Structure 1
Amino acid sequence: MASHRKPRQRPLRGGTVRTAATLALAGAATATAFEGTSQADPQRAPSGIKAEVDRLYEQAEAATERYNGAKEKAEEAQRALNELRDETARRTDRLNAARRALGSLAAGQYRSGGLDPAVQLAMADDPQDYLARAALLTRAGDRSAADIASVRRQLDEVGALRDRAAGHLAELRTGQAELAAQKSVAEEKLDEAKRLLARLTAEERAAYEAPAGGAAPADARTPAPSPPSDGSRAARAVAFARGAIGKPYVWGATGPGGYDCSGLTQAAYRSAGLSLPRTTYTQINAGRRVSRDDLAPGDLVFFYPGVTHVGLYIGNGQMIHAPRPGSTVRVAPVGSMPWAGATRPA
């Protein structure tokens, strides 16, 4: 019978032992590295969360400004539609009155003008009486022609008014659809930002809210310069903005209880007697452009490539602005956000 002995294993020599050990350690390190990679979530790192939240807030503010623009257009369309409807109703009443008068005149002429004029003359007892009546009928005919022309003109006018009203109604519906779309985008971005911020610890959240993030309240650490006292529009706008410090950021609001960024600057200049457009991307064109080196108190300062944020410059490199939802109107450095330009309202 064949022997079934277990083959004798040769001992590992020194070089072989070192090679095996190295491979074993490398394998363990690789496994650990893969395990760590599978567990790590870059988005959970505070720095990643902060960067993503900043991006979401910027996108939300861009949607907010588009919402503000669509709201302004929808409100203008609604006002125009209401005015046209009122004017159409007035014109329709006058048209109906003219139609009734024309109908009465036509009925009277039919009743009195059934006979041929020659027959009327032949039957008349007094030729002078006939001539008087003939002159009256001629004048009545002239009036009838004028009334008919007036009714036709009024019909055309009412039709044109109704066409214009239909156009404004279409604009209104388009604006309302845009409102809903931009509101949905802004709310989606804000909700996502809130979820990300909820991942931060209290200390990390406090660090994010610090002045470097452009979201800290104005306090003794960042004193605002005294406003100019020359009584100019700029001075009055700055004084208004200083009075709004501490009021909450309210999405799409123009005061007095709260503001968004462009709502604050619009309200500030409205208090000074100057009407500014509603949105950041229209406010930047509402005056003379100025360079960053030539800023003066009262200038509007704009940020981000899409011109989606605005503040009111108050001097010493600082501005008053409404930063974002969850914050309040406050003082912040102009250099705390990406610069886009500046305008001196006029």
Structure 2
Amino acid sequence: MKTGRRTLTTAAVTVVCAITVLAAPGTAFAAPTPPPPPSASASAGGAPSKELEAVRKELDKLYRAAAVATEEYNAAEEKAKQQSTEVVRLAKKIAKGKEKLAELKDRAGAAAASQYRGGGLPPEAHLMLSDNPQEFLVGAGRIRQGQHAAEGLLGEMKRTQEDLEQYAQDADAQWRKLEVGRKARAKAQKKIEKQIAAAEKVESELEQEEKERLAELERRAAQKAQSAWLDSGVLDGIETEATEQGRKALAYATAQIGKPYEWGAEGPKTYDCSGLTSQAWTSAGQGIPRTSQQQWKQLKRVAVTDMRPGDLVIYFDDASHVGMYVGDGAIVHAPRPGRTVTIAGAGSMPILGVVRPDTGVSET
């Protein structure tokens, strides 16, 4: 990777990423350059810059809260899927267990009917009435076999009944968990909708010229953070290329550029941040956890200075956001409501760490 390539414009980076990743996987990308300073006319009229900066921070706070709630919702949804699968598995076991118990009861009934047909006397009584010693000995062996079979049948019926009771208890426990999960999802959904509605209300009260100035403030804040990150020398010496799986995941992720963000979405038309990264790696044949928090907890962690294209960059102390590293200081990610999948500076948000979905050797 060439760390000196930091002079391309944001638009150029987006175009290069959308095309070059597919044509020549593993190619690094330059970080966006700072936008021009706001003109004098941009400061005239409307809310003062300090007020807009306060609005920017408030919006960032609201959308961050929505992102946290979104990952809570995703986690609850993922657990619900697993629990539903377990309920189905237990239901099948219960059904098979009932069939088996019915079969065992039929066999027990047949044995009782056989005894009834023998005059109601137990096999031992019939044997004692026999005048033939040889028949007596043969019959005694059969009686022992019959007793063992009857004991085995009763034991199997008991075990089957106990299994059925245990399956029923387990299924009930899973249903209870599903109900808890449903409440957790509903709670998270309310939090998401509340935060997004509050953010949209703040934005709706701005004039068009103020919205443009606000967007400029957002770009400049992101660029300031990115420049500070690059100036730290964190990318110096990084030359690692993507693995074959990493290239496939990157190709998928960058192909989604321009598609809208939607909380809880995993594609193919809309995505949230972890929906994009999890689906990208699934497309590459590597299943990974659904949420950014679980990606941070379960995947292999690597140093920022060792990251390679395809790795996932986890953001904020609560691991509530994630993007995929594309190279040369940039990520592809689904930012927030009202935005689309895009390329951004990897250092434009506070980095918690980097995780690696695959363990393959990179192609240098």
Answering whether residue 303 of structure 2 is matched by residue 291 of structure 1, we say yes
Answering whether residue 185 of structure 2 is matched by residue 179 of structure 1, we say yes
Answering whether residue 113 of structure 2 is matched by residue 104 of structure 1, we say no
Residue of structure 1 aligned with 2:254, choices 232, 242, 249: 242
Structure 1, gaps ≥5 residues long = 1-40, 216-227
Inter-CA distance 126–305: structure 2 relative to 1 (3 Å threshold)? closer
Cα shift at 1:266: 0.4
Aligned residue type for 2:53: S
Cα shift at 1:127: 5.8
Residue of structure 1 aligned with 2:215, choices 181, 198, 209: 209
Paired residues for 1:1-346 under 5 Å:
45-112=51-118, 114-115=120-121, 120=126, 124=130, 133-210=139-216, 211-212=219-220, 232-346=244-358
Aligned residues: 293
The answer (yes or no) to whether the contact 2:69–2:192 under 8 Å persists in 1 is yes
Cα shift at 1:207: 3.2
Aligned residue type for 2:177: E
- Quote the Cα distance in structure 1 between the aligned partners of 2:165 and 2:242: 54
- The Cα offsets for residues 192-222 of structure 1, whole Å up to 9 and x where unpaired, read as 000001111112212333434669xxxxxxx
Report the equivalent of 1:8: none
- Quote the Cα distance in structure 2 between the aligned partners of 1:230 and 1:288: 16
Cα shift at 1:344: 2.0
TM-score (norm 2): 0.74
- Quote the Cα distance in structure 1 between the aligned partners of 2:122 and 2:306: 90
- The Cα offsets for residues 270-329 of structure 1, whole Å up to 9 and x where unpaired, read as 111111101111111343323333332111112122111100011121110000111110
- Quote the Cα distance in structure 2 between the aligned partners of 1:295 and 1:64: 26
- Quote the Cα distance in structure 1 between the aligned partners of 2:132 and 2:248: 86
Aligned residue type for 2:283: S
Between the two proteins, what is the percent identity of the paired residues? 35
The answer (yes or no) to whether the contact 1:212–1:336 under 8 Å persists in 2 is no
Structure 2, gaps ≥5 residues long = 1-46, 224-239, 359-364
Aligned residue type for 1:252: G
- Quote the Cα distance in structure 2 between the aligned partners of 1:145 and 1:131: 21
The answer (yes or no) to whether the contact 2:52–2:214 under 8 Å persists in 1 is no
The answer (yes or no) to whether the contact 1:249–1:323 under 8 Å persists in 2 is yes
Inter-CA distance 253–52: structure 2 relative to 1 (3 Å threshold)? same
The answer (yes or no) to whether the contact 2:242–2:308 under 8 Å persists in 1 is no
Cα shift at 1:229: 8.4
Structure having greater relative contact order (Cα 8 Å, sep ≥ 6):
2
- Quote the Cα distance in structure 2 between the aligned partners of 1:274 and 1:118: 67
TM-score (norm 1): 0.77
Aligned residue type for 1:109: Q
**SS in structure 2 opposite 1:327?**
coil
Cα shift at 1:123: 5.3
- Quote the Cα distance in structure 1 between the aligned partners of 2:290 and 2:124: 74
Cα shift at 1:130: 5.7
Inter-CA distance 207–339: structure 2 relative to 1 (3 Å threshold)? farther
The answer (yes or no) to whether the contact 1:285–1:343 under 8 Å persists in 2 is no
Aligned residue type for 1:80: E
The answer (yes or no) to whether the contact 1:57–1:193 under 8 Å persists in 2 is yes
The answer (yes or no) to whether the contact 1:46–1:200 under 8 Å persists in 2 is no
- The Cα offsets for residues 54-75 of structure 1, whole Å up to 9 and x where unpaired, read as 1000000000001100110111
Report the equivalent of 2:36: none
- Quote the Cα distance in structure 2 between the aligned partners of 1:240 and 1:230: 14
- The Cα offsets for residues 160-203 of structure 1, whole Å up to 9 and x where unpaired, read as 11111111111111111101110110110000000001111112
- The Cα offsets for residues 83-140 of structure 1, whole Å up to 9 and x where unpaired, read as 1011111111111110121122123224426347786467557665565555444433
